[in-house]
Amino acid sequence: MEDILILAIESSCDETAASVVKNGREVLSNVIASQIDLHTLYGGVVPEIASRKHIEKINQVIESALQEAGVLLKEITAIAVTYGPGLVGALLVGVSEAKAISFASGIPLVGVHHIEGHICANYIENKDLEPPFICLVASGGHSHLVEVKDYGKYRIIGRTRDDAAGEAFDKVARAIGLGYPGGPKIDRFSGEGNPEAIHFPRAKVEENEYDFSFSGLKSAVLNYLNGCRMKGETVSEADVAASFQKAVIDVLVEHSMQAIKQLEYNKFAIAGGVASNSSLRKAFEKRCKEEGVRFFHPSSVFCTDNAAMIGVAGYYDFVRGERSGYDLNAVPNLKLGER
Ligand code: KG4
Ligand code: ZN
State in Å: Cα 327 to ligand 1 middle.
Answer: 31
Q: Report residue 339's pLDDT band, with 50, 70 and 90 as the boundaries.
A: low
State in Å: Cα 51 to ligand 1 middle.
Answer: 20
* Cβ 293 vs Cβ 265: under 8 Å: yes
Q: If you average pLDDT over residues 193-221, what whole number do you get?
A: 94
pLDDT of residue 6: 98
Indicate which ligand has the atom closest to the C-alpha of 280.
1
pLDDT of residue 256: 98
State in Å: Cα 231 to ligand 1 middle.
Answer: 33
Q: Which atom of ligand 1 is nearest to the CA of 181?
A: 14
pLDDT of residue 46: 86
Indicate which ligand has the atom closest to the C-alpha of 272.
1
pLDDT of 110 higher than 90? yes
Nearest Cα residue to 148 out of 316, 276, 299:
316
State in Å: Cα 21 to ligand 2 middle.
Answer: 18
Give the phi and the psi of residue 329 in degrees, each rounded to 5: -125, 160
In the 8-state DSSP scheme, what is residue 160? B
pLDDT of residue 338: 55
Q: Report residue 48's pLDDT band, with 50, 70 and 90 as the boundaries.
A: confident
Torsional class of 305: left (φ above 0), alpha (ψ -120 to 50), beta (otherwise): beta
Indicate which ligand has the atom closest to the C-alpha of 165.
1
Share of the chain above pLDDT 90, in %: 90
* Cβ 334 vs Cβ 84: under 8 Å: yes
Question: pLDDT tens, 279-329?
Answer: 999 999 999 999 999 999 999 999 999 999 999 999 999 999 999 999 999
Mutate which of 139, 186, 281 for ligand 1 pocket (most atoms within 8 A of beta carbon) = 139
pLDDT of residue 250: 97
CA distance 329 to 220: 40
pLDDT of residue 201: 94
State in Å: Cα 138 to ligand 2 middle.
Answer: 9
Question: pLDDT tens, 15-27?
Answer: 999 999 999 999 9
Indicate which ligand has the atom closest to the C-alpha of 271.
1
Q: Report residue 1's pLDDT band, with 50, 70 and 90 as the boundaries.
A: confident
State in Å: Cα 140 to ligand 2 middle.
Answer: 7
Q: If you average pLDDT over residues 323-337, what whole number do you get?
A: 95
Residues having CB closer than 6 A to ligand 1 are 13, 139-141, 166-167, 169-170, 181-184, 187, 272-274, 276-277, 304-305
Question: pLDDT tens, 140-185?
Answer: 988 999 999 999 999 999 999 999 999 999 999 999 999 888 999 9
pLDDT of residue 302: 98
Indicate which ligand has the atom closest to the C-alpha of 273.
1
Question: pLDDT tens, 50-73?
Answer: 899 999 999 999 999 999 999 999
State in Å: Cα 184 to ligand 1 middle.
Answer: 7
Question: pLDDT tens, 176-185?
Answer: 999 888 999 9
pLDDT of 113 higher than 60? yes
State in Å: Cα 3 to ligand 2 middle.
Answer: 28
From atom 21 of ligand 1, which residue's Cα is the shortest distance away? 273
CA distance 288 to 147: 17
From atom 14 of ligand 1, which residue's Cα is the shortest distance away? 183
pLDDT of residue 275: 98
From atom 23 of ligand 1, which residue's Cα is the shortest distance away? 183
For residue 181, is the peptide bond before it cis, meaning its omega torsion is within 30 degrees of 0?
A: yes
Mutate which of 169, 284, 302 for ligand 1 pocket (most atoms within 8 A of beta carbon) = 169
Q: Report residue 38's pLDDT band, with 50, 70 and 90 as the boundaries.
A: confident
pLDDT of residue 26: 98
Q: Report residue 44's pLDDT band, with 50, 70 and 90 as the boundaries.
A: confident
**Strand ranges (E), 14-62:** 15-22, 26-34
Q: Which atom of ligand 1 is nearest to the CA of 86?
A: 6
pLDDT of 249 higher than 60? yes
Share of the chain above pLDDT 70, in %: 99
